Every structure is written in C-alpha cells, then in structure tokens.
C-alpha cells in the first residue's frame, strides 16, 4: 500500500509534507507509511484516497494487482542458473516480495515484463503443441510421405534423363510429361503442407481455413468464432437469423446437437439469473440446486455465457476417455492429438459415477498454472441401443484459473506425456520430448 501511495503522490506532483498536512498527520509518519513501516486503514485510508483522488480500493488492492500476479508467475518460471553464472543466486522469496513495489513505482517496466512473459508462455505452448503434432498426427505423416514420394519420383526421372544419352523421342516426351506432372503434384503437396502447419499455428480456425480440420475441429472453430455464446439459443430469439452452421456434414451434426442442447439449458437457466449468480461468486453446485438441473448442465451453461464472465472452460470425454468437447480456459493446455494426461480429474470421475468432485490442480509446464476444477460423470443421453443395457457414462470437467484465496494443496497434472516436464510420474506412458 505504501508503494501505491508514494507512486500516486509522485504522479500528482505533491510533496510528502503537503499530503501529510492535508490528511492531518506528520510528514515523518507519512514517510513510514510509504516505506511499508506502518499499516493504515479506516478514516486515514479514506482521507489519503480522497487527497490522492482515487478510490480506497486502488490503494489497498491497486490497479496493478494483475501485474503483480504476472510478475510473480514470470519470476517463478525464470531459470536461476543465469543468476549463478553472474556470481550470485537469485533469492526468489525476496524478489517476489518486491514485485508489488516494482509494479507501483515502475508500471511501464512492469507491464513490459508481463507482456514479454505472456509472449514467451504463448510461444512455449505453440512449440509443445507442434511437438505433440509431429509425434501423433497421422494427417501430417501422410502429407510428409506424399512430399517425399513425389521428390523421389522426380529424382528418379531426372537421373534417367541425365544418365541416358540417346533416348527415343516418345520416351523423352513421356519422361518430360512425368516431370511436369510430378512437379505440379509436389507444388500442390507442399502448399497443402504449409497451409496445414500455418493452420496449426493459428488454432482451430486456422486449421479449418487450411482445409485440414476434422469434423470435431470444424465444430470447435465454429463455436470459437461465436465466442462460445449462441444468441439463437436464448428464449425469445426466434426472430434472429439462423446461425451459420458448418458446411461439412459431420461438423454440422455436432453443431446442431450443441445448439439444441444450448436451447434446453437456456430455458432451464435464464441468462439474467446466471449472470447475477456468476457476479455473486456462486458455486456450480449452488446453481444446480437453484435451477433444479444437473451439475453438467450448469457446466455447459457457464462456459456458454456471453463474454464468459467467470473465465470458465469445459472438457468432456466419453467412457473410453476420448475428448468429445474442448473449450479450455486461458492457460490450460490440451493436446490436440494423442491421449491427454491420465491424472486429470476428468478421467478419475469415470471411476466414481454421479459423485461430484472439486479441488485445485496445477498443470505442469515451465510456468505451472493452477486451476479450480469441478468434475462429474453422469449417464449419457439415451440412444438407440438396448434400453436394458447398463448406462454408459460421460465425464465433464469445469475449469477456471485459481484465485488468490484458493490456497489448498494442488493436485499435479500434465498435458500429455510427450510434452510433460515432470521426470517422475507414476502415470507416465512414454518419454517426454522436452529436455530435463
């Protein structure tokens, strides 16, 4: 708080003596406050805020609270070896304690560090996703095989032309025609491969634009383009134009099914009531009891609210553990291909049907992230199978970034074994491609 008071006073060009006189305290006492040697509250806090022309919360919490959190994350992810090479080791606890003061005194530099940290984190996530893709993606393997096969064919034809001095005119024309056709095929294959990789770097939308998206990816791109919120699903929205559903058959079926479910959820949980509950910080279980719906229905509704005010994400899997719906919160990494981390509470929910679970998890990466998670496994919607058969369960996991007051011990989880930095894990299936 002292750093915020000092920074605000300096911004206004007010001396310590002048500010102290205005609020009715001595200049030495104000100096102790600004250097974190005295704690204040009540009337003095209100008086200082009024004199500095800010809300009291700006002094107690600070506009730079988000910056401080980002600086702490950047510090935790910094290698200490560099400090040792310069002749000293960084004291993490001491530096973390100075983060708030740094953000208050030098907000511009703090924002620069935070921006660079976010950029580094984004690049690391892209590299991990590409590493996972190179290992597991069958479409990428097929595209590379097509390019290599075409290059081999061109090389063989060129060798014949170069090493054979006297060729019949008909054979010569045939080889030239083969070179032309193989060259065109190579250009098309290379262009498709580049478009595919560019699409991966741009997320689901880019993959769809590159023409390489699966039906699931095309559906996810359609939903992402809508921000997750389907206005057409809200009661009284009959006058709105029909949503532009994906053109692809299977993706269209997925989108139509999701839209129908969203309409049922919107009817059971009115939008205005849901937004009020989110603003009040209500728990998903409380919402389920309020509307008399299942917990998974609340999960779906929360992640589909306009603007996603709670910052929620949702992952759903079937009884085989295959991901059938993914809309992760910011910072939560998911493999696009291959199996996800078996330590996710999502999969553990399948072993305890109809038993809700809630807790904090920490996803491993160079910069670990903590999330509050809620899970539940419930019977899938009745289909055309044998009505007397045992129910088939699906599991859902609601996520949001953990808050500062959620300090419970976090369960460690990963993304997928191939890009997990934890060297020892009882659930590991294969070695990681990451060093160390």
**Domain residue limits at 315:** 301-436
- Taking only the tens place, the pLDDT of each residue in 321-367 is 889 999 999 888 888 766 889 999 999 999 999 999 999 999 876 66
Instruction: Mark which of 87, 120, 153 sits at the end of a domain.
Output: 120
Q: How far apart are CA 273 and CA 225, in angstroms?
A: 25
Number of domains composing the chain: 3
Residue 373 is assigned to a structural domain of this protein? yes
Q: Which two tokens stand for residue 362?
A: 């920490």
Q: Are residue 307 and residue 384 in the same domain, yes or no? A: yes
pLDDT in tens, the chain (436 residues): 787 888 888 888 888 889 988 888 888 888 888 877 777 767 788 888 888 888 776 676 654 556 666 777 676 655 443 444 444 444 555 566 677 777 767 777 877 887 887 788 777 776 766 666 666 666 677 778 888 888 998 988 888 888 887 788 888 888 899 899 999 989 888 887 777 666 544 444 444 444 445 788 888 888 888 888 888 888 887 666 667 777 767 888 889 999 999 999 999 999 999 999 998 889 999 999 999 999 999 999 999 999 888 899 999 999 988 899 999 998 888 887 668 899 999 999 999 999 999 999 998 766 668 899 999 999 987 554 556 667 889 999 999 988 877 777 889 998 888 777 777 888 888 877 665 5
Q: Are residue 422 and residue 389 in the same domain, yes or no? A: yes
Q: How far apart are CA 67 and CA 103, in angstroms?
A: 7
Instruction: Mark which of 164, 191, 209 sits at the end of a domain.
Output: 209
Q: Are residue 398 and residue 431 in the same domain, yes or no? A: yes
> What separation, in Å, do the N-terminal and C-terminal C-alpha atoms of the chain show?
40
Q: Are residue 64 and residue 163 in the same domain, yes or no? A: no
pTM for this entry: 0.58
Q: Please report, for residues 6, 48, 300, the alpha-carbon distance to residue 59 in angstroms, rounded to integers and kept in the order given.
A: 10, 9, 37
Q: Where are the alpha helices (DSSP H) in 98-248?
A: 99-105, 107-136, 138-163, 169-201, 203-209, 215-225
- Is there a contact between 267 and 237 (Cβ–Cβ < 8 Å)? no
Q: Are residue 192 and residue 94 in the same domain, yes or no? A: no
Task: Please provide residue 373's backbone torsions phi and psi, each rounded to the nearest 5 degrees.
Answer: -130, 145
Q: How far apart are CA 259 and CA 205, in angstroms?
A: 19
Q: How far apart are CA 348 and CA 319, in angstroms?
A: 11
Residue 316 is assigned to a structural domain of this protein? yes
CATH code of the domain covering residue 54: 1.10.260.40
- Give Rg (Cα) of the chain: 29
Give the strand pairing for 323-327 and 393-401: unpaired
Instruction: Mark which of 85, 120, 155 sits at the end of a domain.
Output: 120
Q: Is 357 helix (H, G, I), strand (E, B) or coil?
A: strand
Residue 301: name the closest of 260, 265, 256 by CA. 265
Residue 240 is assigned to a structural domain of this protein? no
């Amino acid at each position: 708080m002292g750093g915020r008071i000092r920074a605000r006073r300096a911004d206004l060009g007010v001396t310590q003596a002048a500010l102290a006189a205005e609020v009715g305290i001595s200049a030495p006492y104000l100096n102790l406050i600004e250097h974190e040697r005295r704690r204040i509250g009540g009337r003095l806090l209100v008086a200082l805020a009024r004199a500095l022309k800010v809300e009291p919360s700006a002094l107690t919490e600070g506009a730079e609270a988000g910056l401080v959190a980002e600086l702490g994350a950047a510090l935790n992810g910094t290698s200490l070896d560099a400090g040792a090479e310069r002749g000293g080791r960084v004291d993490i606890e001491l530096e973390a304690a100075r983060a708030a003061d740094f953000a208050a005194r030098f907000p511009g530099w703090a924002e620069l560090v935070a921006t660079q940290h976010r950029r580094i984190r984004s690049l690391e996530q892209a590299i991990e996703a590409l590493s996972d893709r190179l290992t597991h993606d069958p479409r990428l393997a097929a595209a590379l095989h097509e390019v290599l096969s075409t290059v081999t064919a061109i090389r063989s034809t060129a060798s014949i032309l170069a090493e054979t001095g006297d060729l019949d005119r008909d054979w010569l024309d045939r080889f030239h025609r083969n070179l032309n056709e193989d060259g065109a095929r190579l250009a098309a294959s290379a262009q498709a491969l580049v478009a595919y990789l560019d699409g991966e770097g741009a997320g689901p939308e880019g993959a769809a634009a590159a023409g390489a998206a699966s039906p699931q990816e095309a559906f996810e791109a359609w939903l992402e383009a809508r921000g997750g919120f389907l206005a057409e699903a809200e009661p009284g929205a009959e006058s709105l134009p029909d949503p532009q559903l994906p053109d692809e058959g299977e993706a269209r079926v997925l989108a139509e099914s999701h839209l129908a479910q969203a309409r049922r959820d919107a009817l059971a949980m009115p939008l205005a009531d849901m937004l009020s509950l989110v603003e009040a910080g209500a728990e998903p279980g409380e919402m389920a009891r309020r509307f008399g719906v299942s917990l998974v229905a609340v999960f779906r509704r929360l992640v589909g609210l306009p603007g996603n005010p709670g910052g929620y994400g949702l992952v759903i899997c079937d009884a085989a553990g295959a991901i059938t719906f993914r809309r992760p919160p910011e910072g939560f990494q998911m493999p696009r291909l291959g199996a996800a981390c078996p330590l996710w509470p999502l999969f553990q929910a399948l072993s305890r049907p109809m038993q809700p679970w809630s807790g904090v998890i920490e996803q491993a990466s160079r910069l670990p992230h903590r999330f509050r998670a809620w899970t539940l496994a419930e019977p899938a919607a009745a289909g055309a199978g044998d009505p007397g058969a045992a129910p088939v369960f699906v599991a859902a996991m609601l996520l949001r970034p953990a808050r500062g007051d959620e300090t419970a011990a976090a369960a460690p989880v990963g993304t997928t074994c191939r890009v997990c930095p934890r060297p020892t894990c009882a659930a590991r299936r294969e070695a990681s491609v990451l060093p160390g």
